[in-house]
Amino acid sequence: MIVVMKPGATPEQVQHVVALVQDFGLKEHVISGTDRTVVACIGDKRTVDKGAIENAPMVERVVPILSPYKMASTEVKATKTEIAIGPAGFPMGGRRIGVIAGPCSVESREGFLRVAELAARAGCVGLRGGVYKPRTSPYSFQGLREKGFDVLVEARKLTGLAIVSEATGVEELAALVEVADVIQIGARNMQHYPLLEAAGKVNKPVLLKRGPSAMLEEWLLAAEYIINGGNRQVMLCERGIRTFEDYVRNTLPLAVVPELLERTHLPVLVDPSHGTGHSHLVPAMCRAAVAAGADGLLLEVHLDPEHALSDGAQSITPAALEEVMASLRKIAAAVGREA
């Protein structure tokens, strides 16, 4: 349920409600808006004396939360969440579309730093690069792992871009948090609940990809795990789902973007690289994602896609990235945004 405070409620009056809620065995999340504060209460409400809360000073009303994902829903928070990423604190979820680009995997120092420079020059706000790679085959390149950390740090120093990198297991999280600005949780791990709970304990934004066969509600409940763990900085990233169709690697369901914008206040990104699997389809799907209302894009860019150690077929070149960015500026303007 949500306890809506009257405008002008003092911090002490909010604290009084929090203490009451805790007395009833519920967990509280205080959300301070511009004109009023709400206290979202999560737990078994059978033990709650709703009247006692309603009668507390400066409480306006108590309303149930109907959606199964609670903290992620627009019922609890109607205003969009902006999440500051990287050294520049770029506000993901704000008016400007945030593009995060870079190779699937960090392969070499020189290659990564060069892509970093070109991505920054093209107007990107984030730099992606996996060091822990969840590969379908155990014989494929598995990533540089900890050996890639220094390069991530160097690239941030060089460009000021926010570093986005994936944790594939709980044991990788603590070290990765020290070097990355955004922790990616990949499609294969969307329902890795211990990892989601652990991500709830870190103080870095999390980019949560949709599982290839996850339904929308399961995805939002996965986000809820992270928020419930204590980390409200969650961004969602659609990366395509598994269907019968095989002209693409995954089917990119862009209707999910406007649907999410109704259901959740969290920033919504789209990954047209994994969402199609083919570089020639990526620019059009970038434009379509922005037209549909996406707050950002996650893109694979490689200097020499034909020789990439992972996901070359879906990686665009830096030159193609520049063209995409130029076209996004027009699309963004047409839908009341900036890119």
Residues forming contacts to Mn ion in the complex (CB under 5 A) are 104, 311
Which of ligand PEP, Mn ion, none interacts with 253 (beta carbon under 5 to 8 A by kind)? none
Return the structure tokens found at 244.
Answer: 């019968």
Contact between 209 and ligand PEP by CB under 6 A: the answer reads: yes
* DSSP result, 227-269: HHTT---EEEEE--B--S--SSSSB--TTHHHHHHHHB-S-EE
Stretch binding ligand PEP (CB under 6 A), from 55-63, 146-154, 186-194, 312-320: 186-194
Alpha-carbon distance 282 to 119, whole Å? 16
187 near ligand PEP, judged by CB under 6 A: yes
Q: Is 337 in the site for ligand PEP (CB under 6 A)?
A: no
Shortest distance in whole angstroms from residue 310 CB to ligand PEP? 7
Q: Toward Mn ion, which CB reaches closer, 156 or 274? A: 274
Q: Which of 183, 117, 184 is nearest to 156 (CA)?
A: 117
24 vs 141, which CB is nearer to ligand PEP?
141
Nearer to Mn ion, 128 or 265 (CB): 128
Cβ burial, residue 49 (10 Å; 0-12/13-18/19+): exposed
Q: Is 104 in the site for ligand PEP (CB under 6 A)?
A: yes
The smaller minimum CB distance to ligand PEP, of residues 165 and 233, is found at 165
Q: Which does 109 bind (CB under 5 to 8 A by kind): Mn ion, ligand PEP, none?
A: none
Verify binding: residue 302, ligand PEP, rule CB under 6 A.
no
Q: How far is the CB of 192 from ligand PEP (least distance, A)?
A: 11
Q: How far is the CB of 312 from ligand PEP (least distance, A)?
A: 12
Q: Where are the beta strands (DSSP E) in the chain?
A: 2-5, 27-32, 37-42, 59-63, 83-85, 90-92, 98-102, 126-128, 162-166, 182-185, 206-209, 234-238, 268-270, 296-300
